[in-house]
Chain A
Amino acid sequence: MSESTLRIGLILPQVLGTYGDGGNSAVLAARALWRGLPAEIITLDLDQPLPTDLDIYTIGGGEDVAQVIAVEYLRRGDALRKVVEAQKPVLAICAGLQILGHYFIDARGEKSAGLGLIDAITLPQGRRSIGELVIKPQVIGLQGLLTGFENHGGATLLGRYAKPLGATRFGSGNGVADLSKYPGLAGGEYIERDEAGTITLVEHEGRPFRTCQPGADGVVQGSVICTYLHGPVLARNPELADLLLARALGRTVGELPELQIPALKPLPAAPSSQTQLFKTLTEVPGLTQLRAQRLAAAGLHEEFLPQK
């Protein structure tokens, strides 16, 4: 962390900003500021090189062409690799996840090189997964369900060095590759079919990637956390936001100061312009109800409630 201000890098919101994921950086900044910790968002655009000395980075979702532009940008000077090697937390969503892998193939069957920072490849699902996505995280320090919205045509296959972020309870998460619509897609790579004709393995650099890891979402590898959860994910899941914040600050979640959110409290029987009085909240009002609503939309409910 540089001096006393937490610096949050928002990577290419103009390019990978199609799905509101820029909100993740806003949530991180707000949850730091509400703890009395100075924070700022550094918006990183195409016309400036990626600084490697920020404390945490967020990457959002976007469309196919945008992904290629983002790879070109992030490859420049090996900047993002340096960030990852320095163990800085990186949160990447959807298209952001896909570009961090070895390669990704879009719905037209076009293959693009990724950054190779996570051990994953992305192939087409042959359809889009659109809807609520709920996962049970498999990361130490996260206990509640993670809720969000997925909207992607890619299936992400993990190699042995990458672990999923969680197990899906609703929705498709990393999805299942279906290459039947893409004859010749695999090129020179080795593809094995099982009896049902389903492709089970795709080889990349001599290593197998299963085309289907049912019930998994996202990628965790080193300091990188990826997911297909939009929403934005940190707006809906404060537990994950605080975990990332703690890591960026080099602390544990337990060491974070309590949130103190200034809020206005209506005074009974006073005209509106004078109806308000400061009070302090320890969580964002409406968030509990928002989570309950979104989990209910997936037929689920909270399984773990933090003790306050």
Chain B
Amino acid sequence: MSENPIQPPAPRAHLGLRGQVAVAAGRSAALASRLLGKGSGGMIGGRVAQRICPDILARLAAGKNVAIVTGTNGKSTTTRMLTAAIEAGGHQVATNRGGDNMTGGLITALMSQRHAPYAVLEVDEMHVPGAAAQVRPRVLVYLNLSRDQLDRVGEITKIEGRLRQAVEENLQATVVANCDDPLVTSAAWEAAQPVWVAAGAGWTGDSLTSARTGGAIMRRGQHWWAAPLDGLFGEEEASGEMAETADDSTEETAGDSAQRPGSDRPAGDLPRGLQGFSRPTPQWTLALVEGEGTAEDPAADQDHTAAENKPTDLEIGTKAQVISSKLAVAHVPTQGADPLGGRAWAPGDPVLVRQAEAGEWTLRLALPGRANRGNAAQALAAAQVLGIEPSAAARGIESVKEVAGRYAMAQFGQAQLRVLLAKNPAGWQESLTMIDRQAGATVVAVNGQEADGVDLSWLWDVDFSRLSGHVVASGERGRDLQVRLQYAGLNCDFVADPLQAVATCPPGRVDLLANYTAFRDIRLALISKGVWK
């Protein structure tokens, strides 16, 4: 690998003899694993090294500028974006590309780029305090928290607690946190140096109660605040007042007081330090670009018209969240007050990323979906903290075209196939904004292995109404999905094997949406068939 002349001198970490032996053994193990075709070597190498030298992770990370990226969804994508941003700034970066986001994978990543001055590490949510204790990050990037494999990991409040612990134990770190997510905000609330990014929340279903205050999270437009339980239903007047003021949603200053818009009640019995726990004022926001049309999406027309002629701050003028009170068959899942109205975001649709003081940058992401606009904003904010000039960072972020095969288009038989990954309800909700309405067919593949979560009840919280045309349910738990889609009024076929399901589709564009292990198997199959590299 060629050295970049303008790169700052690589830090000399003091691995010590034991550390050097560990790294050599780990690298051999990773190589052996790759050569034997047992895997990418992403985890085994690190595990071997750790066995020899238990604090190898700390030794490898010493002297590096480390960013940890975590959250339920978007970890791999944001890690790629931040890595690309730093590289665009002219620096080498060590990063775990394969999505091996536990200790072994982190060690392998740092071993493989020993002398890179920067490291961007995707870390599993539950492992953040442990990893951070070793690598002492300069930046913690907290994306979003929602339920993911409830039956395996436990309740979401536990994860919020882990992330909060990492904040409390790493006062050296700047926390780049999504303030549209109350759980993330709660985790980052006590950060010494928070950078709040309004990255959006496509899903609010898991943050309706406040993990910290024991009360409810109340919402109006983009704003949210914690209300104590006492008095939540005491004053019949309160809800009426809320409705009256619901149209003039404006940005409130953070921490201005315990009084929130629409609520003239004091914060009451909230614990000290949490009075006024509410959405902080974001330093970074997203906005639509003046005069730029985006992909046609009939579903978003109403929200479109208002935004046509002027740059619209997505923070302002949003409609209060309206939960439909009368439905027929469809059960409306819990979606965030997204001013984009769940519209589709195609690759190339421009978005403005604004920083209150530094300026604004237009990003034309090569990736689809609303969530990736939010991921890009957090990557840009984190890059700035790490000293990367934002316009360079922006070019780097735009250069990300696929993440481990996701988003990329490939010819498979008669199908122009694009594969999307969704691991949980929030991820599905976001992925459905990526489905190409021009695609003639959609295959949805669902497994229920331990890594996916064996309880698939959440399928009923996902709004599949965006699907249309030829739909095929697939995967090991495709029958759960088939029944779900039938109840949503969608007629669908069932073909157990996802790629066989693609083969049954009419020739042309096919979107294949898969959950974790289904995606993993599809990826391996496509690689073995030479469709993917």
Contacts and interface: CB of A to CB of B under 8 A. Distances in A.
Interface of A: 10, 13-15, 17-23, 25-27, 29-30, 33, 39-43, 45-48, 62-66, 68-69, 72-73, 76, 128, 130-131, 149, 151, 230-232, 235, 261-264, 266, 271-273, 276, 284-287, 289-290, 293
B494 A14 contact: no
Contacts of B479: 286, 289-290, 293
Contact of B487 (A39, A149, A235): A235
A149 B455 contact: yes
Nearest to B488: A26
A286 B482 contact: yes
Nearest to B462: A20
20 contacts: A14-B208, A18-B150, A19-B455, A20-B460, A21-B457, A23-B457, A23-B461, A33-B329, A40-B328, A43-B327, A64-B155, A65-B209, A65-B215, A66-B208, A69-B209, A72-B232, A76-B233, A264-B491, A272-B440, A272-B505
Given A66-B208, A69-B229, A262-B491, 17 more contacts: A19-B458, A20-B460, A23-B457, A29-B327, A63-B209, A69-B215, A128-B154, A231-B457, A232-B460, A235-B484, A264-B491, A266-B493, A273-B440, A276-B491, A285-B482, A286-B494, A289-B479
Nearest to A33: B329
Contact of B229 (A22, A26, A42, A68): A68
B455 A151 contact: yes
A23 B459 CA distance: 9
B528 interface: no
B147 interface: yes
B54 interface: no
A30 B506 contact: no
A143 B173 CA distance: 60
Contacts of B204: 14
Interface stretch (B162-170, B318-326, B337-345): B318-326
A20 B325 CA distance: 18
B466 interface: no
A228 to B, nearest CB: 12
A20 B209 contact: no
B331 A10 contact: yes
Interface in B453-499: 454-455, 457-461, 470, 473, 477, 479-480, 482-484, 486-489, 491, 493-494
Q: Which 4 residue pairs of A and B lie closest in terms of their CB atoms, listed nearest first?
A: A23-B460, A20-B457, A272-B506, A286-B482
A65 B211 contact: yes
Contacts of B326: 40-43
Nearest to A128: B154
A65 B328 contact: no
Nearest to A231: B457
A88 B468 CA distance: 37
Interface string B327-364: 11111111000000000000000000000000000000
B156 interface: yes
A46 B236 CA distance: 12
Contacts of A266: 493
A264 B209 CA distance: 42
A22 B211 contact: no
Contact of B457 (A42, A62, A131, A149): A149
Given A15-B216, A42-B326, A230 B331 contact: no
A236 to B, nearest CB: 8
Contact of A20 (B327, B329, B458, B489): B458
Contacts of B208: 14-15, 66
B205 interface: yes
Contacts of A40: 326-328
Q: Which of A17, A33, A48, A131 has the most CB of B within 10 A?
A: A17
Contacts of B459: 20
A45 B328 CA distance: 17
Contacts of A76: 233
A97 to B, nearest CB: 15
A209 B332 CA distance: 39
A130 B487 contact: no
B239 interface: yes
A290 B483 contact: yes
A43 to B, nearest CB: 6
Contact of A230 (B216, B330, B457, B488): B457
Contacts of A230: 455, 457
B455 A72 contact: no
Interface in B130-163: 147, 150-151, 154-157
B327 A41 contact: yes
B329 A130 contact: no
